[in-house]
Amino acid sequence: MDTERIVIKDVQNPKDSELIKAAQILREGGLVAFPTETVYGLGGNALDEQAAKKIYRAKGRPSDNPLIAHISCMEELEPLVREIPKAGRILAERYWPGPLTMIFPKSSLVPYGTTGGLDTVAVRMPKDRVANRLIRLAGVPVAAPSANTSGRPSPTTADHVWQDLEGKIEMVVDGGPVGIGLESTIVDVSSPVPVILRPGAITQEMLGQVLGQISLDPAISGPGQEGLRPRAPGMKYKHYAPRAEMTLVEVKEETMEQLYRPGSFLHGQVSRMMTESGRNWKMKIEIFYMAWKVNEAAAQMEKTGARVGVICTEETMDEYTAGIKRSIGRRDSEVSVAHNLYGVLREFDDLGVDFIYAESFSETHLGNAIMNRLNKAAGYRILWV
């Protein structure tokens, strides 16, 4: 199949003439990849089981993994769901359109082919102008998983989509790089206390503020106990896998305590950083130590002939002396880290590295989603130093 690529000239103001063909393809059961504010989506008519089948085939994804139905406005929600629980209304009011997906009891209109056999349906209303207008023009809800080959990092540019899906779908709508860079937050509002099934840019703290009570699916914070299955089937263990074996590096509390102690082997550095870095001195020491340990491990690996990648940040880049280093963003801007995360993983895939060491981040706010994706990419492999 020849895949057509349409480049949107002004993504803040897409013209209907630029999107009309894509909308028609969707309406007629074909597949179109398009930008959203989170990641690129691979769209098909959510009410057409055949379209869902095509999506699974193009991605190489198991068909028991349900798809998110994308809508453009509130009126489009009602036909898809049996009821809208109170929490769903509150969250829709506050965060739609936006990077939030909600799970509702599904209506009979939504085929099981879209929901992977479940009686619930995931719905999201994207804010991205191109996505929102495309869905409106299509006139049908648009089922869209991330537009990557199953198991590869989610695409944050049209080039990423092209690498994975060229020749397999009818069209790619190129709206430039996405804004956020991580998939939407998923909240199940069909249970009495809403549950976060996947962390994203609408953070637990933000949800707690409007809902009061919110819980976190225990299966998403780690591999956990045997048999603990995530309630979002797609959140299964090790999902966003880079080709290399990836390890997250974390500094132990007790290491930090030792480092502060007068006379410790890094004490000279510690005193220097305390004077140079003011309020941030603790963070500086932690990073310095982390880099030092990664240098050791990477140099060791390189001696055996392996190619080693290091995921670092603007602030720490200069501390690394071994491995191929790539900055994932600035430590003082979680937004920048989220934005670059998948792009960096893809770059290391392209470079053909065998091992990746990645710095870790705090797990609050957006850091929660960042660490969730990094942990999954690493298959929860952590080097404690």
Burial of 325-338, coded b for 16+ CB within 10 Å and e otherwise, reads bbbbbebeebebbb
Report in angstroms how near the CB of residue 340 gets to Mg ion at its nearest: 18
Sheet containing 142-143: which strands, arranged edge to edge?
A: 4-7, 171-174, 32-34, 41-45, 142-143, 68-70, 120-124, 100-105, 185-188, 195-198, 215-216
Q: Which of residues 36 and 316 has its CB atom nearest to ligand TXA in the complex?
A: 36
DSSP string, 296-352: HHHHHHHHTT--EEEEE-TTTGGG--SSEEEE---TT-HHHHHHHHHHHHHHHHHHT
**Is residue 345 part of the contact set for ligand TXA (CB under 6 A)?**
no
Instruction: Name which of residues 30 to 49 contact ligand TXA (CB under 6 A).
Output: 36, 38-39, 41
Stretch that binds Mg ion, among 127-135, 140-148, 300-308, 334-342 (CB under 5 A): 140-148
* N residues, the chain: 385
**Is residue 270 part of the contact set for ligand TXA (CB under 6 A)?**
no
Instruction: Tell which one of 3, 24, 63, 65 touches ligand TXA (CB under 6 A).
Output: 65
C-alpha–C-alpha distance, residues 90 and 95, integer Å = 9
Residue 184 is classified by DSSP as P
Instruction: Name which of residues 9 to 38 contact Mg ion (CB under 5 A).
Output: none
Compute the Cα dihedral for 287, 184, 30, 64 and give only its sign: positive
101 binds, among ligand TXA, Mg ion, none (CB under 5 to 8 A by kind): ligand TXA
The label of the residue with tokens 């006139």 reads: 139
Q: Which of residues 146 and 156 has its CB atom nearest to Mg ion in the complex?
A: 146
Which x/- pattern, by CB under 6 A, does the window 134-153 give for ligand TXA? ----------xxx-------
C-alpha–C-alpha distance, residues 3 and 279, integer Å = 53
Which x/- pattern, by CB under 6 A, does the window 213-232 give for ligand TXA? ------------------xx
**Is residue 235 part of the contact set for ligand TXA (CB under 6 A)?**
yes
Number of residues near Mg ion (by CB under 5 A):
1
**Is residue 360 part of the contact set for Mg ion (CB under 5 A)?**
no
Report in angstroms how near the CB of residue 290 gets to ligand TXA at its nearest: 30
Report in angstroms how near the CB of residue 110 gets to ligand TXA at its nearest: 10
Instruction: Tell which one of 115, 156, 313, 372 touches ligand TXA (CB under 6 A).
Output: 115
245-250 and 4-7 beta bridge pairing? unpaired
H or E element that contains 272: helix 267-277
The label of the residue with tokens 């933000």 reads: 206
Q: Report how far apart, in Å, the C-alpha atoms of 377 and of each of 90, 155, 311 are.
A: 33, 14, 12
Instruction: Tell which one of 14, 85, 113, 234 touches ligand TXA (CB under 6 A).
Output: 234
327 binds, among ligand TXA, Mg ion, none (CB under 5 to 8 A by kind): none
Which x/- pattern, by CB under 6 A, does the window 304-343 give for ligand TXA? ----------------------------------------
C-alpha–C-alpha distance, residues 152 and 178, integer Å = 17
**Is residue 189 part of the contact set for ligand TXA (CB under 6 A)?**
no
| The two structure tokens encoding residue 326 | 């790539």
**Is residue 120 part of the contact set for ligand TXA (CB under 6 A)?**
yes
C-alpha–C-alpha distance, residues 26 and 247, integer Å = 40
SS3 58: helix
Report in angstroms how near the CB of residue 16 gets to Mg ion at its nearest: 29
Which x/- pattern, by CB under 5 A, does the window 143-182 give for Mg ion? ---x------------------------------------
Report in angstroms how near the CB of residue 11 gets to ligand TXA at its nearest: 16
User: Where does this chain bind Mg ion (CB under 5 A)?
Assistant: 146
| Binding residues for ligand TXA (CB under 6 A) | 36, 38-39, 41, 65-68, 101, 103, 115, 118, 120-122, 124, 144-146, 183-184, 186, 197, 231-235
